[in-house]
Amino acid sequence: MKLKVYADRMSQPSRAVIIFCKVNGIDYEEIKVLISKGQHLTSEFAEINPMKRLPAIVDGGFKLFESHAILIYLACVFPGVADHWYPADVAKRSRIHSVLDWHHSNLRRGADTYVSNATIAHVAGRPLTPQAAAETETLLLSSLSKLESFWLKDDGCFLLGGNQPSIADLSLVCEIMELEVLDEKDRARLLGPHKKVLQWIESTRNATNPHFDEVHQVLMKVKERLQYQRLKAAKSEGGSDMKKPLLSRM
Amino acid sequence: MKLKVYADRMSQPSRAVIIFCKVNGIDYEEIKVLISKGQHLTSEFAEINPMKRLPAIVDGGFKLFESHAILIYLACVFPGVADHWYPADVAKRSRIHSVLDWHHSNLRRGADTYVSNATIAHVAGRPLTPQAAAETETLLLSSLSKLESFWLKDDGCFLLGGNQPSIADLSLVCEIMELEVLDEKDRARLLGPHKKVLQWIESTRNATNPHFDEVHQVLMKVKERLQYQRLKAAKSEGGSDMKKPLLSRM
């Protein structure tokens, strides 16, 4: 039975899992669960993942959720996944675990909450909370700084000095790609000073293309829409159209 | 060269790593880094862990931080660690990864922030922020509920239906032990309805004693002090002594 991947390409960990499958030639079926339509909250999806979060997989009778756990599982189970994604060497593997654990409480929390508060809340029709965005900005900037000065400090294009990407590169870069939907000036202000981070995003994109770009198309479409809305709002003094949920207009 | 474990027994992930070493007969040296004295913020400790967080280990020339990554490393590298702690079977192992990942954004975030805001801030002489505590209470209660209804739903005393503990049991129970420092009524209100969780804490304690109790002695001492302070404050109308940092009085 073919691997089933329950995903929404608007979810960054979903994108990481889909890209991983595509890059590694894993035969899978993508089952779209649209968060914007509340499909992850249904009792039907709770049978797949009782936590009602994305992504989740079903491989034969085996169900699994949490994207890092999924990436590790896929790397271990499917033949043909190159060693650099999740090295067999215990020291290298442990350092990848360390990055992935760090990700949860730092980059994930910073980026996800910042973007959610600064932009996505608007897309979903929820009120923006700039105060919450300001609070998480500190965590986001600190995380980007740690990536620049520590995780990417060694030679090599990838985390921990690697010359080829690991599941940590894919997971963290997909997280940072969320910043694409921010106002361009805001994104440049946050990412601009982090030259190694910018180079690393590009390296990961190149190493996983054309799949990386294809899977990010949905996000890029939202980015374009938001840019258009911002432009329109700037032209009209009241910017009343901004008050309508974007997804209801797509 | 002996394994070095940099830890503060007031830190719940530090306790998990120390208990794991003791239970599994791993020969290690515990190097105390006291958070209350800011020892984790020194440039000396930054050489061990640039993130300035505990625990961290040095095994020969290999440095590692993040407690889940450390527990996995120790389980893989040291001979004599029984399979149940981190099973070789890929499906069982993946489900443990799933629990550990879930822990980061749920139980860890809920328990740590709740306790920190409700009590530990007082110990450290920082003002309490009951509003923040109320906000995180929702996440903590939701996490306890998920433990009760999902992670502990199967037969067996431990997570995922296990009859023996895994590193996930140890990590999560050490997290929940933080609730010991809460006001007794508050702790009973939060944990009381979760009978399976209470039984699971006891099972994990029994499976790892006498080390579990010994490593938690520092926490129990703080619990006693806080109880004494609460009693004293309740007796005196003003409760002015509560304003002094507890650690400065220990």
What is the band of B250 on the pLDDT scale with cuts at 50, 70, 90?
very low
Q: Which pLDDT does position A208 carry in this prediction?
A: 98
The residue-averaged pLDDT of B214-229 equals 94
Q: Considering only CB atoms, which chain B residues are within 8 Å of A101?
A: 66-69, 104
In this predicted model, what pLDDT tens digit does every residue of A20-42 receive, in sequence order?
Answer: 999 999 999 999 999 999 999 99
Distance from CA of A146 to the nearest CA of B (A): 8
Q: Is the pLDDT of residue B159 over 90?
A: yes
What is the band of A132 on the pLDDT scale with cuts at 50, 70, 90?
low
Which residue is closest to B151 within chain A, CA to CA? A50
Per-chain mean pLDDT for chain B: 90
Distance from CA of B69 to the nearest CA of A (A): 5
Question: Where is pLDDT greater, at B130 or A202?
Answer: A202
Q: How far is CA B128 from the centre of its chain?
A: 21
Cα separation, B62 vs B79, whole angstroms: 18
Q: Which of B63, B97, B103 to mutate to test the interface with A (most CBs of A within 10 A)?
A: B97
Q: Is the pLDDT of residue A220 over 50?
A: yes
Instruction: Mean pLDDT check: name the lowest of A130-144, B52-66, B132-146.
Output: A130-144
Q: Considering only CB atoms, which chain A residues are within 8 Å of B50?
A: 146, 150
What is the band of B23 on the pLDDT scale with cuts at 50, 70, 90?
very high
The residue-averaged pLDDT of A103-112 equals 90
Chain A residues within 8 Å of chain B (Cβ atoms): 50-51, 62, 64-69, 72-73, 76-77, 90-91, 94-95, 97-98, 100-102, 104-105, 108-109, 146, 150
Q: Is the pLDDT of residue B248 over 50?
A: no
In this predicted model, what pLDDT tens digit does every residue of A176-199 receive, in sequence order?
Answer: 999 999 989 999 999 999 999 999
Amino acid at B102: W
Q: Which pLDDT does position B243 carry in this prediction?
A: 47
3-state secondary structure of A170: helix
DSSP letters spanning A99-162: HHHHHIIIIIHHHHHHHIIIIIHHHTTPPP-HHHHHHHHHHHHHHHHHIIIIIT-SSSSSGGG-
Q: Considering only CB atoms, which chain B residues are within 8 Å of A95?
A: 64, 69
In this predicted model, what pLDDT tens digit does every residue of B25-34 receive, in sequence order?
Answer: 999 999 999 9
For residue B91, is it left (φ>0), alpha (ψ between -120 and 50) or beta? Answer: alpha
Nearest to B68 among A50, A95, A101 (CB): A101
Q: Is the pLDDT of residue A131 over 80?
A: no
Q: Which pLDDT does position A112 carry in this prediction?
A: 85
Question: Is there a contact between A5 and A213 (Cβ–Cβ < 8 Å)?
Answer: no
Q: Which pLDDT does position A77 carry in this prediction?
A: 97
Does the beta-carbon distance from A91 to B62 stay under 8 Å? Answer: yes
Q: Is the pLDDT of residue A120 over 70?
A: no
Q: Which pLDDT does position B239 carry in this prediction?
A: 46
Q: Which of A70, A92, A103, A104 to mutate to test the interface with B (most CBs of B within 10 A)?
A: A104
The residue-averaged pLDDT of B77-87 equals 96
Q: Is the pLDDT of residue B112 over 80?
A: yes
Nearest to A65 among B67, B76, B98 (CB): B98
Nearest to B72 among A97, A104, A146 (CB): A97
Does the beta-carbon distance from A105 to B102 stay under 8 Å? Answer: no
Q: Considering only CB atoms, which chain B residues are within 8 Å of A109?
A: 105
Nearest one of B124, B128, B20, B132 to B81, comparing CA atoms: B20
What is the band of A239 on the pLDDT scale with cuts at 50, 70, 90?
very low
Does the beta-carbon distance from B68 to A97 stay under 8 Å? Answer: yes
Q: Which pLDDT does position B123 carry in this prediction?
A: 61
Distance from CA of A249 to the nearest CA of B (A): 32
What is the band of A118 on the pLDDT scale with cuts at 50, 70, 90?
confident
Q: Is the pLDDT of residue A249 over 50?
A: no
Q: Which pLDDT does position A247 carry in this prediction?
A: 44
Q: Which pLDDT does position A154 carry in this prediction?
A: 76
Q: Which domains does chain A have, with CATH numbers?
A: 3-81 (3.40.30.10), 90-228 (1.20.1050.10)
Q: Is the pLDDT of residue B48 over 50?
A: yes
The residue-averaged pLDDT of B139-153 equals 94
Q: Which pLDDT does position A124 carry in this prediction?
A: 62
Length reported for chain A: 250
What is the band of A235 on the pLDDT scale with cuts at 50, 70, 90?
confident
The residue-averaged pLDDT of B98-127 equals 82
Q: Considering only CB atoms, which chain A residues are within 8 Å of B171?
A: none
Q: Considering only CB atoms, which chain A residues are within 8 Å of B104?
A: 101, 104-105
What is the band of B193 on the pLDDT scale with cuts at 50, 70, 90?
very high
Distance from CA of B230 to the nearest CA of A (A): 32
